Structure 1
Amino acid sequence: MEYLKESVDYGILAILFFMSFVSIWLSIERYFFYKSVDLMEYKTKNEVEVILTNNLSTISSIASNAPYVGLLGTVMGIMVVFYDMGQNSSLETSVVVIGLSLALKATALGLLVAIPSMMLYSAFLRKTDILFAKWEDEINKKI
Structure 2
Amino acid sequence: MNVEKIADWVDYGFIGLLGLLSLIGLWLILERYFYYRHLDLRSFREKEELEIALGENMTMIASIGANAPFIGLLGTVVGIMVTFVTIGQSGLVETKEIMVGLALALKTTAGGILVAIPVIWFYNLLGRKAEILVAKWEIMKRRGEI
Is the TM-score greater than 0.5?
yes
CA distance in 2, matches of 1:136, 1:58: 27
Q: CA RMSD for the aligned pairs? A: 1.0
State yes or no: 1:125 paired with 2:135: no
Q: Which residue of 2 aligns with 1:31?
A: 33
Distance in 2, Cα, partners of 1:98 & 1:89: 16
Q: Which of the numbers 6, 9, 16 marks the counterpart of 1:7?
A: 9
Q: Find the counterpart in structure 2 of residue 45 from structure 1.
A: 47
**Matched-pair identity in %:** 45
Q: 1:103 aligns with which of 105, 116, 134?
A: 105
Deviation string for 1:10-51 (max 9, x for gaps)? 110111011100110111111111110001101111110011
TM-score normalised to structure 2 length: 0.95
C-alpha distance in 2, partners of 1:90/1:107? 25
Code of the residue aligned with 1:86 in structure 2: it is: G
Residue 9 of structure 1, CA deviation:
1.2
Name the stretch that deviates more: 49-58 or 69-78.
Answer: 49-58
Equivalent residue pairs, number:
143
What residue is the counterpart of 2:136 in the other structure?
A: 134
Deviates most, 61-70 or 6-15: 6-15
The amino acid that maps onto 2:5 is Y
User: Is 1:83 aligned with 2:64?
Assistant: no
Give the corresponding residue for 1:73: 75
- The TM-score, its normalising length taken from structure 1, stands at 0.97
The match for 1:57 is 59
Q: For 2:87 and 2:31, how far apart are their aligned partners in 1?
A: 47
**1:74 partner letter:** T
Deviation sequence 1:86-132 (CA, Å, 0-9, x none): 01123211110010000000000000000000000000000000000
In the alignment, structure 2 segments of 5+ residues that lack a partner are none
Secondary structure of 2:45's aligned partner: coil
| Aligned mates of 2:37, 2:9 — CA distance in 1 | 42
Shift of 1:78: 0.1
